Amino acid sequence: MTLSLLSLLYKDLAELWLFLKRNTDEIMHQDIVPLCAADIKDQLKKRFAYLSGGRGQDGCPVITFPDYPTFSDIPDKEFQNVMTYLTSIPSSQDTGIGFILVIDRRQDKWTSVKASVLRIAASFPANLQLVLVLRPTGFFQRTLSDIAFKFNRDDFKMKVPIIMLSSVPELHGYIDKSQLTEDLGGTLDYCHSRWLCHRTAIESFALMVKQTAQMLQSFGTELAETELPNDVQSTSLVLSAHTEKKDKMKEDMKLALQEGHTILESIREPLAKNPEYSLNQDQLDNQTTVQRLLAQLNETEAAFDEFWAKHQQKLEQCLQLRHFEQNFREVKVALDLVSQKMTTLADVGNSLAHVEHLLKDLANFEEKSNVSVEKARALCLEGSQLIENKHYAVDSIHPKCNELQHLCDHFAAEIGKRRNLLSKSLELHGLLETSMKWCDEGIYLLASQPVDKCQSQDGAEAALQEIEKFLETGAENKIQELNKIYKEYESILNQDLTEHVQKVFQKQESMEEMFHRRQVSLKKLAAKQTRPVQPVAPRPEAFTKSPCPSPGIRRGSENSSSSEGNALRRGNYRRAKSEMSENQQVRSGSTGDEEESLAILRRHVMNELLDTERVYVEELLCVLEGYAAEMDNPLMMHLISTSLQNKKDVLFGNMEEIYHFHNRIFLRELENYIDCPELVGRCFLERMEEFQIYEKYCQNKPRSESLWRQCSDCPFFQECQKKLDHKLSLDSYLLKPVQRITKYQLLLKEMLKYSKNCEGAEDLQEALSSILGILKAVNDSMHLIAITGYDGNLNDLGKLLMQGSFSVWTDHKKGHSKVKDLARFKPMQRHLFLHEKAVLFCKKREENGEGYEKAPSYSYKQSLNMTAVGITENVKGDNKKFEIWYNAREEVYIVQAPTPEIKAAWVNEIRKVLTSQLQACREASQHRALEQSQSLPLPASSNTSPSRGNTKAVKKLEERKTDPLSLEGYGSSASLPKPPEKGKGWSKTSHSLDASEDNDGWSSAEEPVNSSDAEEDGGAGPRKLVPGKYTVVVDQEKGGLEALPAKSGDVVEVMNEGDEGLWYVRNLTTSKEGWVPASSLSTLIGKSRSAQCLSSSGKSPRPQFTHLDPLASQPKANLRGKKNCNQVDSDS
């Protein structure tokens, strides 16, 4: 059909082209006079001959030669041109008859007449009918002409007769007066200039018509030979170029027609002025010529318009086809992408929230895809309209329309199929959620029933009724038949979903089984009858029933000799034993129920962990796809403000990294612990390093929040929120990672609460501690990055242990007295950062920056190396103060914490740092001593090395200190040791600013202030008992039968003192009792007025400022001034 339409179109074009060509050829091949009036205009203006338009009796054209005195002076060329032009004007029919020449020589001489006649006769280019000569009117010249004409007749022999006329009336005998001009006595209206103007215009118009015909023929040839382009742009360019040329041709034809009508009006002007005026023959011929040219021009224009309409239709249909093909390709690509995307939508969801999210995603996908589908349907409609309009390419358009319609229908069918599957999945997950919720409610019901109240008959009956009432609700909430579920939801059941259905059904069956067991137990308790009490006379020897079911506890006389009493006792004993057995069974059942309840609660916590984890992952993905990805979408760029451009990393931080960790790793590993929730702590421990990514996110959070405050009203966020159908704005979702990392510790606490006697309890405790450590590290790092002005690398200071704001007073030995006095009363507000190797003093400042760069900062002031630091734990008058001193109290900083608890935490942490440094220094000194003993064969002198006895004693003590967790080697006393004398070995010397008696001093590098006391004490003696409460500073494990396991930080109360430095204590945390090394205990701050501390040499505790001496294992080696632990003074 396309070929037939195209062939028909080309056939019509060919016919029109031939018709147009014939018209233009006819115009182009018309006889054009060899000369034009415009070419000899000056010669014609001389008017020595003119064509007046008069006619003879036979219709012969009349050429008049008026009296022209200088006729003989006219050049032959000019004369020949004028004669040729004048004889070419009349029609070929008139010229065939011949011309009549009227030669007016009335004012001339005979000689001139003779010469004129002879010249005309010799050079006249056309046929002559008659020559009429008006001879001179003078007597002499007339007589002379008569005589000369008679004698010279042979000279005037011509093909036509020459008639000499003596007067004008004689001329009227040959030519009618109406055909002669006024100068010849006629009435013919003739104006030579008007005639010349008309002739010039007519000939110019004829030339214009011929040129127009040539251009039309050339343009028509170009149009007919044009090949149809294959693309939209080329077709548009061809159509535009052809239209432009057509418009120019039409403009030229319009000008030609206007010119022709103007000439025609000019010819008819006398008629317009005088209706009775009659045009002469030449005027009529001119009019006919112009009319003929106009008719030919109109006919040519009509032929061209028809040809152009067909050609334009062909080009426009070609352009429509190219547009249709281009749009088809674009829509086809879009629909293919939609179909490809559709094939990836195979997930049916793993939870109710997930399915709802998938349905929402499907709706968004359908909405976006409908743009392409609507374009495809519109293109189908456009193709149908082209076919109805008889487009020449029907065979090409129709299949494409069918293909587009098929793709649209297929998309609609797939969307409907996908929606039905998700609806089925939503229905199934709703059923599963309902069943799980029912199971959870049942589990909570079982867990909430108090066991003690169920021991009575009324309590058991009430609990039984409560259970039966709950079970009645199962018909609406639980899964009835598993096979029915499989059959009804077969289309969506994959392996994961099938396993999920099975687990829910198993959970439901397990819960119902627990209910059944609970019912059995409660029915037994409810059915137990109260035994009657026999009235027995109260006698001393009578057996009185013990309220305790134990058979070993009885009341009454066992020596009674009454047989009745013995029988009564035996009967009561048997009843008591039977009752005890029943109660033991009840207790056993209660214990089993309690374990089941704990397992149920653990599963509930695990379900909450998994459900919230899945929701968390989905929310992160939603933010990344709905906001972060859209910031790179070119279609959304116009909605993004300039302050938000290129700020995606600032706004979202490393959220994508967090999403990939949880989605690809953590969530999948959590799902492996769904059947053993008590072991989930291992999952956290294995991935604890990956949780460090939250530190980076939290460090960026202030900048993100500040940027959000600046740009929260940006239309981009509003549009994204609208597309996602979120009720909350983006900032709520940016807070999700911070909320999630804090949520883990709450869930772990809950899990640990229900798993204390389970296998994974220790892992849960360690995981909880690690998560809390991460939270602390995150919080600390956010402050650490705000430190400004520190020249070194903060990483070189070791791990950040603690940070906080304090009031600080200073007291330096080298300072001015007024400055020292002022320092006592005017505290400085400082933010302290405790690292493993140094403590930093900073001043908190608020930046005045703009935008997200505005954040609090800490201006570095000074730092103290921990190798030269000591602490005084208590300052008189304030339980929130402690001292940090430097270089043997050369610099003293009194630090006031906001609360006593914060002070205790800081002191304990500093104590741990100093203890670790002490241990490192001991190991280093022992290593050097070993090297020296190996390198020197002779023993060292007494003034440079410790004595052998002292060395053995120190070695023995060090062996004990090396493994503080074991009590082997310590002697145990069978009898309780006597408490030591109060105040023995204690000094009241004070070195604090306030002369406090209660200060406890700690250092890891300085020489003891009261080192003379240590030297007087001599060797290392056991630590003496001081009653009170102590804090365990080193973890204690089970090392013997009576050893007390304890953890660092536990509070113990000293009860007795044993041998070998062992104290018998009671752990106030666990309420357990046992033996611990005295060296592992420290005085509880604020509770005892004694200054107890760890002594590196194992000596008795000294008052105030007792510190950890790194070289205490070598009694004669001391540190002086600012020497560190590696500098040993050999001059002791």
State the 10-residue block means of pLDDT for the chain, 1132 residues long. 45 54 56 72 89 86 88 87 88 85 82 77 83 74 55 53 84 88 87 88 86 83 82 87 88 87 87 82 85 87 86 86 90 90 85 86 90 92 90 89 92 91 90 87 81 77 86 82 87 86 86 85 72 46 36 36 43 45 51 74 88 92 92 87 88 93 92 90 92 89 88 90 89 92 91 88 93 86 84 86 91 60 72 92 74 68 90 87 87 92 92 88 82 56 38 38 35 36 34 37 42 36 62 69 75 78 82 80 49 35 35 33 34 32
The tokens of 415 are what? 């969307």
CA distance 649 to 809: 43
Tally of CB atoms within 10 A around 143: 12
Burial letters 736-758, b for 16+ CB under 10 A, else e: bbeebbebbbebbebbbebbeeb
Q: Could you give the 3-state DSSP secondary structure of residue 807?
A: strand
- Closest alpha carbon to 627 in 653, 658, 648, 657: 648
Closest among 277, 266, 120, 280 to 202, alpha carbons compared: 266
Q: Which two tokens stand for residue 335?
A: 């629909």
Report the distance separating Cα 559 and Cα 784, nearest Å. 81
Amino acid at 479: I
Structure tokens at 336: 């293919």
CA distance 144 to 134: 14
For 806, the 3-state DSSP assignment is strand
Q: Are 797 and 832 in contact, with CB atoms under 8 Å apart?
A: no
What's the pLDDT tens digit per position in 775-827? 888 888 778 888 888 888 888 888 888 889 999 998 876 655 555 554 556 78
Nearest Cα to Cα of residue 74 among 40, 109, 35? 40
Diameter of the chain by CA atoms? 219
Residue position matching structure tokens 């070195």:
991
Closest to 230 in 3D by CA, of 332, 313, 322, 320 = 322
Q: How far apart are CA 224 and CA 509, in angstroms?
A: 88
The residues facing 808 across adjacent strands are 828, 895
**Closest by Cα among 374, 239, 282 to 86:** 282
User: What is the chain's Cα-based Rg?
Assistant: 63
Contact 773, 694 (CB under 8 A): no
Instruction: Give the sheet arrangement for strand 856-865, strand by strand.
Output: 787-788, 856-865, 838-846, 828-835, 800-812, 891-896, 881-886, 869-872, 1001-1003
First to last CA, the chain: 120
Number of other residues whose CB lies within 10 A of the CB of residue 882: 26
Which parts of 152-231 fold into alpha helices (H)?
168-174, 192-224
The residues pairing with 837 across neighbouring beta strands, listed in sequence order, are none
Assess contact for 892 and 871: CB atoms under 8 A. Answer: no
Q: Are 180 and 186 in contact (CB under 8 A)?
A: yes
The string of pLDDT tens digits covering residues 746-777 is: 999 999 988 888 888 999 999 999 999 888 88
Q: Which residue has the tokens 């199971």?
A: 439
CB within 8 Å of 490: residues ≥ 6 apart? none
1053 phi-psi bin (left φ>0, alpha ψ -120 to 50, beta other)? beta
Angle, CA 319 vertex, CA 315 and CA 321 arms, to 5°: 115
Residue 1118: phi and psi, rounded to 5, are -125, 155
CA 905 to chain centre: 44
Rounded CA-CA distance 945/45 in Å is 150
**Three-state secondary structure of 943-988:** CCCCCHHHHHHHHHHHHHHHCCCCCCCCCCCCCCCCCCCCCCCCCC
Amino acid at 825: F
Residue environment code for 402-422, b if the CB has 16+ CB neighbours within 10 A, otherwise e: eebbebbeebeeebeebeebb
1091 beta partners? none
**What one-letter code names the amino acid at 77?**
K
For the beta carbon of residue 95, count every other beta carbon within 10 angstroms: 16
Tell me how far apart the alpha carbons of residues 1079 and 131 are, in angstroms, rounded to a whole number: 165
Q: Are 694 and 739 within 8 A, CB to CB?
A: no
* Neighbour count for residue 479 (Cβ, 10 Å): 19
DSSP string, 827-881: -EEEEEEEESSEEEEEEEEE----GGG--EEEEEEEEEEGGGEEEE--BTTBTTE
Question: Nearest-CA neighbor of 881 among 903, 864, 907, 902?
Answer: 903
Closest alpha carbon to 1074 in 1098, 1061, 1089, 1055: 1055
Q: Which residues of 687-721 are buried (b: 16+ CB within 10 A; e: fewer)?
A: beeebebbbebbbbbbbbbbbbebbeebebbeebb
The per-residue pLDDT for 144 is 55
pLDDT value of position 1096: 33
pLDDT, position 15: 58
Strand-by-strand arrangement of the 61-65 sheet: 50-55, 61-65, 99-104, 128-134, 162-165
Distance set, CA 196 to CA 381, 614, 737, 884, 1083 (Å): 66, 104, 102, 128, 140
Separation CA 801–CA 564 (nearest Å): 78
pTM over 0.85? The answer is no
Provide the 8-state DSSP code for 450. Answer: -
Rounded Cα–Cα distance for residues 77 and 99 (Å): 21
**Residues 6 or more apart from 890 whose CB is under 8 A from it?**
812, 813, 814
The DSSP bridge pattern shows strands 856-865 and 787-788 to be parallel
d(Cα 645, Cα 643) in Å, to the nearest integer?
Answer: 6
